[in-house]
Amino acid sequence: MSEKPIDWRGSSLRDIKDDDIFTPNARKEAGHQLSRVQAGLEPDDWKPFDVVGAGTREIRVNLDDGWFRVMYIAKFPEAIYVLHCFKKKTSSTSKRDKDITAARYKAVVQERSKK
């Protein structure tokens, strides 16, 4: 089975590379977990996040230096869509982060419907 490509949406790639958002250790772990998803495996720590769109999942990276999240969709055959990457500041996901993820999810679905 070949790896699915990653389609980074919005600022997600820039955010995961930003040292003010993701620490080097968090970035390394998130990359490892995305590699698992590309290979057709489950991430080590994830949960469904259907509240923003059916099939959305949240990779959870919990380290001593913070809680980091990667929101993605892997249900489509052509790619893994990374919708949003961020550092959590509280135990619940902020409305802002949910809204960003939902808007990018909606854009992916709309683009796919035009193909």
Q: What is the pLDDT of residues 8-52, one digit of tens each?
A: 999 999 999 999 999 999 999 999 999 999 999 999 999 999 999
Q: What share of the chain is helix, strand, coil (3-state, %, to 5)?
A: 35, 25, 40
Residue 22 has phi, psi (to 5 degrees) of -110, 125
Longest CA span, the chain: 44
**pTM of the predicted protein model:** 0.95
Residue 99 Ramachandran class (φ > 0 left, ψ -120 to 50 alpha, else beta): alpha
Residue 43 and residue 59 in contact, taking contact as beta carbons nearer than 8 Å: yes
**Which pLDDT band holds residue 1 (cuts at 50, 70, 90)?**
low
Domain boundaries, the chain: 6-114
Q: For residue 16, what are its two tokens? A: 């995961």
User: Residues 6 or more apart from 53 whose CB is under 8 A from it?
Assistant: 73, 101, 102, 105, 106, 109
- Find the distance separating the first CA and the last CA of the chain, reported in whole Å: 25
**Each residue's pLDDT tens digit, 36-47:** 999 999 999 999
Residue 56 and residue 50 in contact, taking contact as beta carbons nearer than 8 Å: yes
